[in-house]
Amino acid sequence: MAMTMTQKILAAHAGLKEVKAGQLIEAKLDMVLGNDITAPVAINEFEKIGTNSVFDRERIALVMDHFTPNKDIKAAEQVKRVREFAREYDIVNFFDVGQMGVEHALLPEKGLVGPGDCVIGADSHTCTYGALGAFSTGVGSTDMAAGMATGKAWFKVPSAIKVVLTGIPREFVGGKDVILHLIGLIGVDGALYRSLEFCGEGIKHLSMDDRFAIANMAIEAGAKNGIFPVDEVTMEYVNGRFMRQPVIFEADPDAEYDSVVEINLDTLRPTVAFPHLPENTKTVDECENVKIDQVVIGSCTNGRYEDLKIAAEIMKGKKVAKGVRCIIIPATQEVYLRALKEGLIETFIESGAAVSTPTCGPCLGGHMGILASGESAVATTNRNFVGRMGHVNSKVYLAGPAVAAASALTGFITDPEKV
């Protein structure tokens, strides 16, 4: 029976020769992830199980990133709960202030996830690791608890949508523009419980950072996961980094797909998602006189080094517009340090931007940039639901780092080619 890439990974981890869409399976896990919001709930459920051990102290990652450094007493108590659990069970991959980063940037960077893996995380954007050729998906805290105890999880095998990428993206067009364009085409439920399987000659022109951004937002189309084939770009990234032996799976040529979507990268323009859904997309050319109060460049979607470099190149020697707050959040300490060494942080500060320690922060309306009633922001984050970044009467426009940086300089959503 022909299988997609996702189906092959799930079959291997379930110990089966083949699986088919809709089949219920139990699969072994290579990594179980939680953060400072979801892990405390999972820990409570873990204790109800009655076990006195985790399945593997090296295959659990606990990343304190959403409200860290702690913004208030409740956040501090949440993290304290996780710290105590990590200490009790000697969890190797526990990341707190000074070592932490935004989880979905940190785990690939640390080599904790890689090709052929089966990963669950109590965070919906765990699908990020599909950029490395892994099956990774978000789960609830109860499933995380079971995963920590047993090293297994059950899945309904997803069917798939094939996304064929052709052409070469022009300047200022990146992974964020690709995924926003796709969501604009198929809608926020267009891939509901399906696997978005990317292929085509255009992939070789996408960097790992582009692919991370695309896979990250598969969930915004309702997908169970997004996944890329493993190629030279992937292997260059994981070599010397990934802690286990990569296992490469490829879709069968005659694998079945529910539908096929073709995207010509040649024709894409920088894309913006208007409030209050990621499917409300327009090209930057169609964004006229949209005034903003704040710009956020960061998050698990676009807080990596390449993103900061693009923004710095646009902002260098220029000033953030009067009345605009520009917040730069490197996704990890490694990204922050590299940006510091190469002068990017200096560029941001001289332009009038604020630079934060790694944190999810404003992305989920946590801290470090909450919007008041009537305010609008351009953000490189991944969701723009009502009240996502603060007051229910605020607005969030999603964009890539180039549009975000250009907009910070003008105070309006702006084509980066025009600054």
Contact assessment for residue 91 and residue 60, using Cβ atoms and an 8 Å cutoff:
yes
Q: Give CA–CA dist 54/38, Å, rounded.
A: 17
Q: What is the CA radius of gyration of the chain?
A: 20
**pLDDT tens across 59-104, in order?**
999 999 999 899 999 999 999 999 999 999 999 999 999 998 999 9
Residue owning tokens 């859904």: 277
First to last CA, the chain: 54
Residue owning tokens 């200022």: 172
Residue owning tokens 């990234």: 237
Q: What does the pLDDT read at residue 206?
A: 97
Expressed in percent and rounded to 5, the helix, strand and coil fractions of the chain are: 35, 20, 45
Contact assessment for residue 43 and residue 81, using Cβ atoms and an 8 Å cutoff:
yes
Q: Do domains 5-263 and 271-418 have the same CATH topology?
A: yes
Q: Domain 271-418: which CATH class?
A: alpha beta
**pLDDT tens across 323-372, in order?**
999 999 999 999 999 999 999 999 999 999 999 999 999 988 889 999 99
Q: Give CA–CA dist 47/378, Å, rounded.
A: 42
Q: If residue 93 lies in a helix (H) or strand (E), which one and from where to where?
A: strand 93-95
pTM, two decimals, is 0.95
Q: Report domain extents, the chain.
A: 5-263, 271-418
The encoded tokens of residue 20 equal 């088919």
- Measured in whole angstroms, how far is the alpha carbon of residue 305 from the centre of its chain? 14
Contact assessment for residue 279 and residue 183, using Cβ atoms and an 8 Å cutoff:
yes
Question: For 55, which DSSP code?
Answer: S
Q: What does the pLDDT read at residue 84?
A: 97
Q: What does the pLDDT read at residue 243?
A: 85
The encoded tokens of residue 59 equal 């295959």
**What's the fold here for domain 5-263?**
Aconitase; domain 3 (3.30.499)
Residue owning tokens 């920590």: 148
Contact assessment for residue 218 and residue 127, using Cβ atoms and an 8 Å cutoff:
yes
**Per-position DSSP letters for 319-377, written without gaps between them:** -PPTT-EEEE--SSHHHHHHHHHTTHHHHHHHHT-EE--S--GGGGT-SSSPBPTT-EE
The encoded tokens of residue 12 equal 């291997």
Q: What does the pLDDT read at residue 42?
A: 96
Contact assessment for residue 356 and residue 327, using Cβ atoms and an 8 Å cutoff:
yes
Q: Tell me which residue of 292, 262, 232 sits closest to 412, measured CA to CA.
A: 292
Q: What is the pLDDT along the chain (419 residues), one digit of tens a residue?
A: 899 999 999 999 999 999 999 999 999 999 999 999 999 999 999 999 989 899 999 999 999 999 989 999 999 999 999 999 999 999 999 999 999 899 999 999 999 999 999 999 999 999 999 999 999 999 999 999 999 999 999 999 999 999 999 999 999 999 999 999 999 999 999 999 999 999 999 999 999 999 999 999 999 999 999 999 999 999 999 999 998 999 999 999 999 999 999 999 999 999 999 999 999 999 999 998 899 999 999 999 999 999 999 999 999 999 999 999 999 999 999 999 999 999 999 999 999 999 999 999 998 888 999 999 999 999 999 999 989 989 999 999 999 999 999 999 999 999 999 98
Q: What does the pLDDT read at residue 100?
A: 87
**pLDDT tens across 177-198, in order?**
999 999 999 999 999 999 999 9
Q: Residues 405, 410, 411, CA angle at the centre, nearest 5°? A: 95
What's at 154, amino acid-wise?
W
